Amino acid sequence: MDLTLGSSRHTMAVIRLGSGRPPTRRAFLLLKLTAVTLSVLLFCEFLIYYGVIVRCHWPEVETPADGRGRGPPEPALRAMFLADTHLLGAVRGHWLDKLRREWQMERAFQTALWLLQPEVVFILGDVFDEGKWSSSQAWADDVGRFQTMFRHPAHVQLRVVAGNHDVGFHYQMNTYKIKRFEKVFNPERLFSWKGINFVLVNSVAMEGDGCDICSGAEAELLEISRQLNCSREQEHHPGRCGDGGPLPASAPVLLQHFPLYRRSDAHCSGEDAAPPAERGIPFQERYDVLSQEASRKVCARWGMESDFLGRAATPGGVGSVPDGHSIACPLPRPAPAQETHLPPLTSGY
């Protein structure tokens, strides 16, 4: 009986031991699979951004104390330029598509802020995809998501210009949409920092048809032109600038959404330029690019140092445009020393 009992106990022990092994293997495999999955997610959703952006660096530049090349050099201004974020709205945006796009843009932006430490960030229009028709509630929701995604420290400046998806094309925009946009984003058109003048242009209002919005925008640009010109002449005519104080005596950097006029992308270059077969496609004035008349007005008012633009006129049509081919600037007013088109931050635009 004892033997039988012992045998029974032994048998029971063997049964317990044998039945416990398969769950142990399954638990180990499950743990291993979970670890691999989490590692892949961590790499693809977090670490990959650091691996890519850490290879970027600020160029070495020499910056004199003023526009005349006098005085000891100052530290260069670290400026980041973005364009066409196109935050999807309530009408055309699927929740899963919005979640994926916005997560990727947020991680890319926050990683770049942490690694590159820019002092100012410019977004060159089309911040939103449906700002041209969104309701007040939809607009508030989109703005809230934008402010979460593009949050930044207080010492970092964020400047935004309007695009056609933010306020509509010329025939769609109105005072309400523009005021709504300017209530969220600083409406200042002239911004100076570290001896550099930035002119922020609402290129949607450069239609030139004499409408109230267009006339107001042109009047603002005329006043900016006066301020810049008097600052350059301040040395010879002190006191001409009035109470505002002189601006840095340097050529301005133009920031706007629409490209200045050019016939096509035939002279564009760069790794993000349009495919060769598409570079010769002619552009439509007032839709793909500014009109010749509006571009001439811009060139006639300022001797620009650089021109940064959003809204690639053809898919992938971004990059640098060599001097003399970019815009309809009549001599003796030169074209910008450098014209740069930025690719969309989000895909599909």
- pLDDT per position as a tens digit, 17-31: 445 555 688 888 899
Give the DSSP H or E segment for 256: strand 253-256
Phi-psi category of residue 69: left, alpha or beta, with phi > 0 → left and psi -120 to 50 → alpha: left
CA 202 to chain centre: 15
CA 164 to chain centre: 15
Once rounded to an integer, what is the mean pLDDT over residues 122-131?
Answer: 94
Neighbours of 69 (CB within 10 A): 9
Q: Tokens 């571009």 map to which residue?
A: 295
Q: Tokens 């009408």 map to which residue?
A: 91
321, pLDDT greater than 50: no
- Quickly state the pLDDT bin for 319 (edges 50, 70, 90): very low
Phi, psi of 307 (to 5 degrees): -140, 120
Average pLDDT, the chain: 80
Q: Tokens 């600020």 map to which residue?
A: 58
**Percentage of residues in the chain having pLDDT higher than 70:** 73
Residue type, 296: R
Please give the pLDDT value at position 120.
96
Please give the pLDDT value at position 315.
41
pTM attached to this predicted model: 0.80
The tokens describing 277, both together, are 């077969």
Contact 205, 217 (CB under 8 A): yes
Please give the pLDDT value at position 8.
47
Q: Tokens 């006129």 map to which residue?
A: 313
How would you list the strands of the sheet with 196-200, edge to edge? 190-193, 196-200, 253-256, 306-309, 338-341, 319-321
User: For the chain, how far is it from start to end, CA to CA, in angstroms?
Assistant: 85
Please give the pLDDT value at position 74.
67
Instruction: Name the CATH code of domain 77-337 (choices 1.10.10, 3.60.21, 3.30.70, 3.20.140).
Output: 3.60.21
Query: To the nearest 10°, the Cα dihedral for 230, 231, 235, 236?
Result: -10
190, pLDDT greater than 60: yes
The tokens describing 228, both together, are 């810049």
CA 192 to chain centre: 19
Sign of the Cα pseudo-torsion (147, 172, 84, 195, in order): negative
The tokens describing 109, both together, are 């932006």
Please give the pLDDT value at position 270.
72
Contact 91, 130 (CB under 8 A): yes
| 162: helix, strand or coil | coil
Q: What is the CA radius of gyration of the chain?
A: 28
Which residues sit opposite 320 in a β-bridge?
Answer: 269, 340
Once rounded to an integer, what is the mean pLDDT over residues 143-153?
Answer: 96
Weakest-pLDDT range from 6-10, 108-112, 215-219, 325-329? 325-329
